[in-house]
């Protein structure tokens, strides 16, 4: 009907666009949302660096509950310490909260898939919620594995309980990040950079601590830790990505 009256249609279209623009808060440049995501990550990191077990109950409690529900790990909360299992000689405290993993998941999801969403704010919120759920799941799995690794008869001069604990944590967290990333990619039916999980995991888990150690004037023992993390991350990335690359090459040849 409006097409018969071009002037009226033009005014209508202009009003409609202005209403949409105002309602959505304006067409903000993507940089603003990227900076907001980085600010949220920084705030979480800053909070985590000063938080104790009580301040981290929002992530420790659901993780401990999941470990009990799925794995039957008996964990009792003790004020100031965290959740303790005397049966398995296990303490789930601030170091086991997985906040760094939450930050990695959040940044990886948001920056990898934000371009596919018209509402950056909505995807920002969804990324944070998904990252929280993934962290609770990964924490629960890590608690379960750690409880049973303690009783395993595998330790010696080279394989110590502490080293195995760190190794298992890296495998669980990075494998969880890969699984989450490719699940989101499959669900959205879009093509996302295959190396994005590796880049974000290494940047946050190694790059940030390295920068802090350099500024504080020392990096004792960091090289060995970084080598383990890089080796595990590269290996798992190849395991996940290589089959897809080979399938694509075979498809192109045929």
Q: Are 97 and 60 in contact (CB under 8 A)?
A: yes
Average pLDDT across the chain, whole number:
83
pLDDT of residue 160: 72
CA atoms within 13 A on the CB side of 45: 17
Q: pTM value?
A: 0.82
Adjacency order of strands within the sheet including 82-85: 76-78, 82-85, 90-92
pLDDT in tens, 157-179: 677 767 788 889 999 999 999 99
pLDDT of residue 4: 45
* Other beta carbons less than 10 A from residue 173's beta carbon: 26
Report the pLDDT averaged over residues 43-49: 95
Percent of the chain with pLDDT over 90: 56
Give a three-class secondary structure readout of 103-142.
HHHHHHHHHHHHHHCCCHHHHHHHHHHHHHHHHHHHHHHH
Min mean pLDDT across 6-20, 105-119, 159-173 is at 6-20
pLDDT of residue 31: 86
3-state DSSP assignment of residue 8: helix
Report CA torsion sign: 186, 188, 193, 195: negative
Whether the per-residue pLDDT at 27 is higher than 60: the answer is no
Residue with the bigger pLDDT between 156 and 33: it is: 33
């Amino acid at each position: 009907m409006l097409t018969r009256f071009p002037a009226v249609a033009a005014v209508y279209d202009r009003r409609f666009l202005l209403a949409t623009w105002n309602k959505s808060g304006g067409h903000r440049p993507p940089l603003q949302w990227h900076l907001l995501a980085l600010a949220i990550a920084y705030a979480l990191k800053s909070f985590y660096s000063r938080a104790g077990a009580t301040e981290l109950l929002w992530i420790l409690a659901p993780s401990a509950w999941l470990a009990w529900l799925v794995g039957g790990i008996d964990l009792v909360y003790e004020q100031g310490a965290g959740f303790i299992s005397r049966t398995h000689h296990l303490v789930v405290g601030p170091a086991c909260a997985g906040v760094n993993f939450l930050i990695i998941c959040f940044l990886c999801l948001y920056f990898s898939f934000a371009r596919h969403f018209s509402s950056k704010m909505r995807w920002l919120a969804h990324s944070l919620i998904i990252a929280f759920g993934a962290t609770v799941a990964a924490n629960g799995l890590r608690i379960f594995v750690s409880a049973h690794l303690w009783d395993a008869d595998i330790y010696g001069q080279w394989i110590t309980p502490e080293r195995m604990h760190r190794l298992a944590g890296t495998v669980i967290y990075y494998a969880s990040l890969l699984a989450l990333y490719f699940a989101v990619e499959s669900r959205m039916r879009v093509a996302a950079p295959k190396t994005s999980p590796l880049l974000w995991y290494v940047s946050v888990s190694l790059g940030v601590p390295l920068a802090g150690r350099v500024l504080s004037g020392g990096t004792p023992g960091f090289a060995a830790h970084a080598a383990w993390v890089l080796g595990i991350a590269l290996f798992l990335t190849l395991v996940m990505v290589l089959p897809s690359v080979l399938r694509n090459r075979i498809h192109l040849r045929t």
